[in-house]
Amino acid sequence: MKPDILVICGPTASGKTDLAAELALRLGGEVVSADSMQVYRRMDIGTAKPTEEEKRGVPHHMIDVADPGENYSVARYVQQAVPIVDGILARGKLPVVAGGTGLYIDHLVAGRQFAPFTPDSGLRSELQAQAKAEGLPALRAQLERVDPEAAARIHPNDEKRTIRALEVFLSTGKPLSRHDADSRALPPRYTPLTIALNFAQRPDLWARIDRRVDEMMARGLEGEVRALLAEGVPPDCTAMQAIGYKELAAAILGGRPAAEGAQEVKLRSRQYAKRQLTWFRRNREAHWFEWEKIPDFSAALSFSTELIRDVGLQ
């Protein structure tokens, strides 16, 4: 089937932002971010949001759509991003989905439907109170009775997902596992041409990551984290678990030098890049382009435009 969207993915610091913006500019497209942390407002430096210059005048979507104190989810991402992608297609333009959050990309391509529930019903608070009063094993036992498949899949210590699975069943009368199975049975919403970026040699990616962290610190990442803490953003909320923010917040709150936190950011970023590569390599349809020690942007553009032409995407 002929592709209808372009996906640019890869590990952190692999050049996705620049390639996506340039291809969108040349092909008359619009960029849809697939980054689980760029959705948060006022978190710009540590999430490597594209600057106006880096956007090259191309519309960028799914950036700055939530406040740092909110618990953002893949379900909310798909709910917001699908109408945007559909709108780009309806205008006769090319959606360029770019980012390093593989879960978001996969669910967007699938157009995955998520089990409905009413977040303000008070049910979640009741379940959280029950977990506190009776212990998580009591909720686990309840989940095993109503949805043994979900219970087998969820780690025994994962309170958040246990409560979510019970919440779905109690709200809809249908097990979460059945909701998921019904959704997986649907055909994908979009057909992607996927271009994945990486470095041919792992040490070159590590060096690129280290330089990026140094640049973030020079641009004021410490001040950005301090400002978020000062405005009352909880250090344990979802947004502040992002790499760069968690480590610096811990250093600041612990009275340690920010430089120590920066070294931890480099380590965690390298570990995250490994996980990203593992995720993206599962996609056998992805076309990989590997940079040498010094990235050749013109070569990446030639590689990408030739692929796009060959599959008839444009």
- ∠ CA 211-46-101 to the nearest 5 degrees? 95
Question: 285 lies in a domain?
Answer: yes
Q: Are residues 70 and 203 in the same domain?
A: yes
CATH number of the domain encompassing residue 279: 3.40.50.300
Q: Are residues 39 and 69 in the same domain?
A: yes
Q: Are residues 62 and 127 in the same domain?
A: no
Q: Are residues 225 and 264 in the same domain?
A: yes
Question: 251 lies in a domain?
Answer: yes
Question: Quick check: 30 pLDDT over 60?
Answer: yes
Q: Are residues 9 and 150 in the same domain?
A: no
Q: Which residues are 199's β-sheet partners?
A: 291
Which range, of 159-163, 210-214, 281-285, 300-304, averages the lowest pLDDT?
A: 159-163
Question: Quick check: 183 pLDDT over 70?
Answer: no
pTM: 0.84
d(CA 266, CA 94): 34
What is the extent of the structural domain holding 171?
123-184
pLDDT in the model for residue 1: 78
The residue ranking higher by pLDDT, 168 or 208, is 208
Q: Are residues 193 and 282 in the same domain?
A: yes
Going from the C-alpha of 250 to that of each of 201, 224, 265, the distances in angstroms are: 32, 14, 11
Question: 160 lies in a domain?
Answer: yes
Q: Which of 139, 168, 184 is the last residue of a domain?
A: 184
**pLDDT tens digits for 188-198?**
899 999 999 99
Q: Are residues 138 and 277 in the same domain?
A: no
**pLDDT tens digits for 73-127?**
898 999 999 999 999 999 999 999 999 999 999 999 998 666 555 555 678 888 8
Going from the C-alpha of 55 to that of each of 24, 79, 155, 227, 263, the distances in angstroms are: 10, 24, 41, 25, 29
Number of domains in the chain: 2
Nearest to 195 by CA among 70, 84, 85, 94: 94
Percent of the chain with pLDDT over 70: 94
What values do phi and psi take at 256, rounded to 5? Answer: -100, 160
Q: Which of 184, 213, 231 is the last residue of a domain?
A: 184
Residue 206's contacts (CB-CB under 8 Å, 6 or more residues apart) are 270
Q: Are residues 210 and 156 in the same domain?
A: no
Q: Give alpha helix (H) positions in 13-172.
A: 16-27, 52-55, 74-90, 102-110, 123-134, 136-146, 148-153, 159-172
Q: Are residues 212 and 179 in the same domain?
A: no
Question: Quick check: 147 pLDDT over 70?
Answer: yes
pLDDT in the model for residue 88: 98
pLDDT average, residue stretch 22-46: 97
Question: 118 lies in a domain?
Answer: no
Q: Are residues 95 and 219 in the same domain?
A: yes
d(CA 269, CA 213): 9
